[in-house]
Structure 1
Amino acid sequence: MERLRIENRQLHQALAPHAVIDQAIGVLTVVGQLPPHDGFAELREVSQHTNTKLTTVAERILTYAQGAPLADELLVELRAAVARRAFGTRPAT
């Protein structure tokens, strides 16, 4: 029984970051008028360019959507990622 409790706790911990990332993708989809797969690509790109964990970027996007300021570094990278997608100048991955 204890093993199942531990496994259940681990599964909940593993799923929590996915929910945050999915919600941030939703924000980018609406605000940036992007398809969902592009929203994830933008998150990943901002994460890589700022050397910030993907989950952290997603959390900050969610707080930004609720009215909090977004760090300049993240805002600049997010705008650049969206512009590259919009103008088709994204480097090959």
Structure 2
Amino acid sequence: MIANDGHTERLTVLQQEVRQLRRTLDSRALVDQAVGVVMAVGGLRPDQARAVLEHIARDTGAQLPEVAGSLVRWPTSDELPPGIREALPRAVDQVRHLDEQGGGDRAGTRRSPRGTR
């Protein structure tokens, strides 16, 4: 019989943590790629493009990685889910409007230190 002195349990916990961190890293990479797509399509800055993704996720009820995946696949598949297709131009317009009104970075959700942009 193998003695279980807590090492096995600790190993299991660490393996689960590594899997979660990998999923998070993959998700972030996907969102970063989608930011690039939105920047190219909408002529936006990175902070504006990120805000567009967040608006789309909120408006469609989808998770941010799901929205990002659809947008990353869009240039090669030429397909975009209807909800995202409808939300994209609205979100771009909204982010531009907020920026013009002095809404700041990320549609007014975050400001950089000392009030600079």
| Shared fold per TM-score greater than 0.5 | yes
CA distance in 1, matches of 2:64, 2:108: 20
2:55 corresponding residue in structure 1: 45
**TM-score for the superposition, normalised by structure 2:** 0.67
Per chain length, whose mean CA-contact separation is higher, i.e. which structure has more relative contact order (CA < 8 Å, sep 6+)? 1
2:36 corresponding residue in structure 1: 26
Whichever of the two has the greater Rg, that structure is 2
The CA deviation at 1:10 is 3.0
Structure 2 residues without counterparts, runs of 5 or longer:
1-6, 110-117
The match for 1:73 among 83, 88, 93 is 83
CA distance in 1, matches of 2:66, 2:92: 19
Percent of matched pairs sharing the same residue: 28
Q: Structure 2 counterpart of 1:10, which letter? A: Q
> Root-mean-square deviation (CA), in Å?
2.4
The CA deviation at 1:5 is 6.2
- 2:38 counterpart of 1:35: no
CA distance in 2, matches of 1:32, 1:48: 19
1:55 corresponding residue in structure 2: 65
SS at 1:70's partner residue? coil
CA distance in 1, matches of 2:37, 2:93: 17
CA distance in 1, matches of 2:96, 2:77: 25
